[in-house]
Structure 1
Amino acid sequence: MPIAVDIDVMLAKRKMPVGELAERVGITPANLAVLKNGRAKAVRFATLAALCEALDCQPGDILHWESDPE
């Protein structure tokens, strides 16, 4: 998928466990795992905003575009 998710990077920078982030954002740890492992097909803006608030970052800090290898 051309959109990559760098939640792990931000979690490491913030020294925050996955469970704490899931609780702060209001989603299940399983749904957070789907998102951070790049298996999500979509993310709600409300969830993205909550992630940014919890991690004190901008959307571009956790999402970036990668070209598909041809």
Structure 2
Amino acid sequence: MDEIEFENWKKKVLITGGVTGVAIGLLTAFMLVRSAEKSGHQTPEVRPTDLLGTAIAIIGVVRGIASLGND
């Protein structure tokens, strides 16, 4: 694989990852807002323990995806 093909491949992966991250973030924010509206709260109530659990889960998913390229 020459240098130009490698750079094109790298750009595609970075753009795909960025777009996927934005889409997942927007979907998560939408679901959080909808949940707060259904429960009658003006602002969503998120506890630090919820954020910690979510962060650990996200790190696990990212590590799993990163390990796919190590074959």
TM bucket normalised to smaller? under 0.3
Greater fraction strand: 1
User: TM-score, normalized by length of structure 1?
Assistant: 0.27
The one of the two structures with greater contact order (alpha-carbon pairs below 8 A, sep at least 6) is 1
